[in-house]
Structures are given as C-alpha cells and as structure tokens.
Chains A and B, each alone.
Chain A
C-alpha cells in the first residue's frame, strides 16, 4: 500500500497567515492526490483533487500543488473557519490511503 506522510502533524497560526502543509508519498503517484478538510465532529469535505484542481465552491485561498511524491496544500490567508484538520488522500492505486492529518490551530 502507498503510504502518505504529512507534515507537520499540527501547527499554530493566526488569522491572515499563509499556511503550508506537505504530503509525501512512499512512491510516485503522478497527480493522484486529493485534500480534505475536517472540522471537529464533522466528516471530511473535499477541497482539492488531481493535486491542484479546486473543488467547486471551495475558496480560492486554498491551493494545491505537486506531482510524483511531493505535494503541498497552501492556504494563502487563513480565515477563522479554516481552523481544522487537513488530510491528503491518494487514488493512484488501491487500497486508497490517507495521510495522518495536519491540525491547524489558532495561535
């Protein structure tokens, strides 16, 4: 199974900050990565697919990039509603796997 390693596992940031989360795959997976946001007590919601395509309705401050083994989710200007946990997911091959998550907390 393809392993996804996210870093950092948590971070503290302020409203308006630029935040970057990375996801590294254990083998090359082209652009077959998605990013999800999960707020406490809620299911994840899809933000980004195909590494860099924004899901409909997702604010443009979210940006995904990368290919091969290294991927990045960037939030250009953190908003109060963005404090949540973020997960990457690969769909290059089965079993589908997720990264361990990055919790974005208020500084």
Chain B
C-alpha cells in the first residue's frame, strides 16, 4: 500500500519561502506523477502542480511564478518550494500521487497545515 507523508515547517513568515517534502513509501515512484494540492481553511481544493518521476513538471498558471517542485527518487521524496508567501498561502498542503495517466489522485498524504504569520 502506497503511503505519502508531508513534512516541513508549520509556520512561515510573510515574504519568505515555504518548503515542504513528501516521503513516499510502499511503492516505487517510477511511472507516476507526484503532485501538490492545497486547501485554504474552510475552502476548496487547489492544484499546485506535479512532477513526473523523470523530472518533468507542470504547474498551475496562478502559482507558476513562485513554485518549484523537485524529485529525489533515490530517497523516494519530492518537494515543494513556494516563494514570497503571503497570508493567502495559509493552507493545508497535501502531497498526492497522480495515476500513470496524470489525471486522477489515487493516494494522498494526510496533509500539513502551513500558516503564514509574522
């Protein structure tokens, strides 16, 4: 059974950089797309972007200028970097696996709350 676990700081100061890592266990990263999604408090789901196991990426246009997703398959991890954060970036951040076609989220982490506050 594939499992994903997010890790990283729970609080980030405005204008600084948010960095999260997702550790994948119970399966290989090969042939899959690995994604980040966020959910602002009491709000809906927003797709941030994905990275293919080989390293190619696709980002949401609304965040593209501030987002970088990277992968380290030797460590079974992928990471999210979001620069110049504001309070609007406060959210629960989920990592998730997209199926081989890059369409459906079939495994999710439990999520980690990141609060942007001074």
Contacts and interface: CB of A to CB of B under 8 A. Distances in A.
Interface in B15-47: 44-47
Nearest to A36: B105
Interface in A11-57: 32, 34, 36, 42-46, 49
A96 B47 contact: yes
A100 B44 contact: yes
Interface residues of B, number: 19
Contact of B94 (A43, A87, A97): A43
Interface residues on A, range: 20 to 34
A46 B45 CA distance: 14
B103 A98 contact: no
B44 A1 contact: no
A17 B104 CA distance: 29
Interface of B: 44-47, 58, 60-62, 94, 96, 102-106, 108-111
Interface of A: 1, 32, 34, 36, 42-46, 49, 87, 89, 91, 94-101
18 contacts: A34-B103, A34-B104, A34-B105, A43-B96, A43-B108, A43-B111, A44-B45, A45-B108, A46-B105, A89-B105, A91-B102, A95-B47, A95-B62, A96-B47, A96-B103, A99-B44, A101-B44, A101-B45
